[in-house]
Amino acid sequence: MALPPASLDAVLTDPPYFANVQYAELMDFCYVWLRKHLADDVPAFRLASTRTEEELTVNLTEGRDITHFTEGLSRVFVTFTHALKPGKPFAFTYHHNDIEAYLPIAVALLDARLVCTATLPCPAEMGASIHISGTKSSVMDTIFVCRTTGTIRASQFDTSQEALERLLRADLENLRMAGLTPTAGDTRCLLFGHLIRLAVWQLRSTWRNNMPVKDKLEQIRTALQRIYHLDLLHRLATQTLSSLSDVDLLASMRVEEVQITYDPDDEISF
């Protein structure tokens, strides 16, 4: 897709969830009926199936692995970032139970020279959805808000365990204040979103787009491991969730008008 440079005021998208949903396989259930009625008049419906080698999902039985997903996602992000006006938002939603599924997200952001200025929790799924029912999966997305240039608070990139816990607690309290009951799976996915934001920031100055995909993915893993031991992520998420009390909930429900101030010394440009 050819888009003029700096022609978009925003990019809002919802990438495929790695290997969670095989969209073409699901679409074929509907497509066979549409094809029956439209094939004579619409050439696009003369194909036997909607499946294609280019589908941007991980599907090992079809030979589409994490490299395929990473390369495709990166091409999309780079293309649309090129068409985005400087400083305008590139926002997308994502969640997955496995931190490995977030590595392509980080690669795509770094290849596109995007910085995550915020990661926000958002209800996204129904627990009864076919692909997550009974799996204890998260029903919360992280909304990644990214930009190519702007200012941000340096304190947002504190990678200490205490800082990560504060971020998670704030997300969970906001969700509870909205009448939601976050689960351990939700908490874990929100934590993954924060970790990807932090890893992208740490790697941006030394990132090389021409590296092999395998090396890019390994750099992301290493950066994440430096921030927090990956084997302990589930424990951190569970501990943070269990630390919330009814007192926290009542306190979070008190609405008070506050004056938000920013320390100029805390702001950095990118």
pLDDT digits (tens, 9 = 90+) for 253-263: 554 444 555 56
Does 120 reside within a domain? yes
Rounded-to-integer distance, Cα 62 and Cα 27, Å? 16
pLDDT band at 247 (very low <50, low <70, confident <90, very high): very low
* Terminal Cα distance for the chain, rounded: 28
Nearest to 55 by CA among 101, 16, 100, 112: 16
pLDDT of residue 119: 94
Rounded-to-integer distance, Cα 205 and Cα 218, Å? 17
Mean pLDDT of 8-30: 88
Does 260 reside within a domain? no
pLDDT of residue 205: 94
C-alpha distance from residue 26 to each of 67, 138, 146 (Å): 23, 21, 31
Does 245 reside within a domain? yes
Which residue segment(s) compose the domain that 110 sits in? Answer: 11-18+56-251
- Whether the CB-CB separation of 80 and 4 falls below 8 Å is answered with no
Does 87 reside within a domain? yes
pLDDT of residue 110: 98
Does 160 reside within a domain? yes
Does 257 reside within a domain? no
Rounded-to-integer distance, Cα 79 and Cα 43, Å? 28
Rounded-to-integer distance, Cα 104 and Cα 88, Å? 22
pLDDT of 71 over the 60 cut = yes
Does 204 reside within a domain? yes
Q: Which helix (H) or strand (E) holds 141?
A: strand 140-147
Report the domain count for the chain: 1
- Whether the CB-CB separation of 185 and 136 falls below 8 Å is answered with yes
Tell me the pLDDT of the chain averaged across its residues.
Answer: 87
Mean pLDDT of 160-174: 92
pLDDT band at 29 (very low <50, low <70, confident <90, very high): confident
- Whether the CB-CB separation of 173 and 121 falls below 8 Å is answered with no
pLDDT of residue 257: 47
Burial class (CB in 10 A: 0-12, 13-18, 19+), 167: buried
**Residue 35, token pair as written in the block:** 């094809």
Task: Write out pLDDT tens, residues 72-83.
Answer: 999 999 999 999
Task: Write out pLDDT tens, residues 31-45.
Answer: 988 988 899 999 988
Does 29 reside within a domain? no
C-alpha distance from residue 116 to each of 6, 20, 46, 171 (Å): 19, 24, 42, 16
pLDDT of 245 over the 80 cut = no
Mean pLDDT check: name the lowest of 12-26, 127-141, 192-206: 127-141
